[in-house]
A = this chain, B = another copy of it.
Amino acid sequence: GTLWSKFKFGSTRKATTGMMGSKKTGLVELWMTDDPSLPMRARVTAFITNAQRNLINAFEEIDPNYKFLLDPWTRASGGNGVSGVLSSARAEPKFAEENPSVLEKAGINISMVHGKMPPSAIAQMKANHSSIPYDPASNASLPYFAGGISIVIHPRNPHAPTIHANYRYFELTSDPKEGEEPETIAWWFGGGSDLTPSYLYEEDAIHFHQALYNACQPSGPSTYPVFKKWCDEYFHLSHRGESRGIGGIFYDDLCNEPHHRMPNAGPGERPNEKEEIFTLMKSCVEAFLPSYLPILKRRMNMPYTEQQRRWQLLRRGRYVEFNLVHDRGTKFGLQTPGIRIESVLMSLPETARWEYRTDLGEEEGTPEAELLATLKSGGIDWLSKAKQEVC
């Protein structure tokens, strides 16, 4: 249609800010390519498309014997996406055994879906977005767009943590007339990133949170503390009384309306306008590699025992439990007829394990028990910990 043809993939305009990305491919030029004259859905699509390629390049440098499978798909009722998957299960078993991948399973995916939002769903959205100019009595459906990038990296080494991130943009529009752009009548951004170690290295947790703090801080002092707390609340396995990991950031429904988690944040204390909130999204996505690669690199070649591997697989069982039982996105996906199930469940680890009343983690003073104690603590202020250590 009109809208999609305006996308400037492969634009030759130079990036205004240099960033990481593979020198081999020259994709660094595209990383920050952005044309503010385009509608936001097109800018988000261009940004996540290039982010996906740069992230895949970076992880292929870490894992030079393996390639991500790029798996594009289209959705019958509107939209498309590209799944990017690294799995050593796809390699010849002998090769995989002799050349174990650093990443046991990794997915770096983008999706841009659109369709018609039914009246009941619009009514629910009005709870968080009171300005939506919609009369429930009209009983009309409205076009929506949702575009996002989703990342899950499960390294093989038990000392290297799993990381997850997801950043997305959502909008409701008017029904466009033939040949015209639809009018945006509501929009918001959401996202977050969190780290799930099997063994706790305080320096890793501090590094990760510091990188997220650095990414959020330019958007206002209310961002990181609010998003950090939200993350601790969201990634919680209530049936275990455990956090999934050591947290990170999480936010949703960010738009130019008052936000229920930042009711008193004045100008400059939070991002208020669309451009500012997109800047926050870009900053967070760009922080992904700096937040994680230094940790992965210092853990990925550490020696480990069979027992440590077993503990890691038990922790991956918890990861499966969170995703199948609690995660809103997964639950929504599983309930949606005709959804692409392989994409919905790509976040699951290659292997997970459940033991009845395992002895691992039971013995006080062990690293396994130390992790459990942290996960049961309800959330730790890692940045204060960093300051304490400096003093």
Contact = CB atoms under 8 A, between A and B. Distances in A.
A85 to B, nearest CB: 5
A73 to B, nearest CB: 11
Given A90-B359, A325-B324, A351 B348 contact: no
Nearest to A360: B89
A69 to B, nearest CB: 8
Given A93-B306, A324-B321, A334-B239, A354 B358 contact: no
Given A240-B341, A346-B356, A351-B353, 9 more contacts: A69-B356, A239-B333, A239-B339, A313-B351, A317-B348, A321-B324, A324-B324, A350-B355, A352-B354
Contacts of A321: 324, 345
Given A320-B324, A325-B334, A334-B325, A355 B239 contact: no
A77 to B, nearest CB: 17
B356 A87 contact: yes
A85 B359 CA distance: 14
A13 to B, nearest CB: 34
Copies of chain A in the complex:
2
A342 interface: yes
17 contacts: A83-B356, A85-B356, A87-B356, A105-B355, A107-B356, A239-B333, A240-B341, A313-B351, A320-B320, A320-B352, A321-B345, A325-B325, A342-B357, A345-B354, A349-B354, A351-B352, A352-B353
A3 to B, nearest CB: 30
Contacts of A356: 69, 71, 83, 85, 87, 105, 107, 342, 346
A313 B349 CA distance: 12
Contacts of A342: 356-357
A313 to B, nearest CB: 7
A324 B324 CA distance: 6
A357 B90 CA distance: 9
Contacts of A357: 71, 85, 342
Interface SS of A by simple majority: mixed
A98 to B, nearest CB: 15
Contacts of A359: 90
Interface in A335-374: 335, 339, 341-342, 344-346, 348-359
A356 B106 CA distance: 10
A324 B339 CA distance: 19
Contacts of A105: 354-356
A362 B181 CA distance: 43
A155 to B, nearest CB: 16
Interface string A284-325: 000000000000000000000011001001000100110011
Interface string A250-269: 00000000000000000000
Contacts of A93: 306-307
Nearest to A310: B89
A105 B354 CA distance: 9
Given A240-B341, A353-B350, A358 B89 contact: yes
Contacts of A358: 89
Interface in A204-261: 239-240
Contacts of A306: 93
Contacts of A71: 356-357
Nearest to A358: B89
Nearest to A354: B348
A265 to B, nearest CB: 34
B355 A89 contact: yes
**Would you list the 7 A-B pairs with minimal beta carbon distance, nearest first?**
A324-B324, A348-B354, A239-B334, A85-B356, A89-B355, A342-B357, A346-B356
A306 B92 CA distance: 12
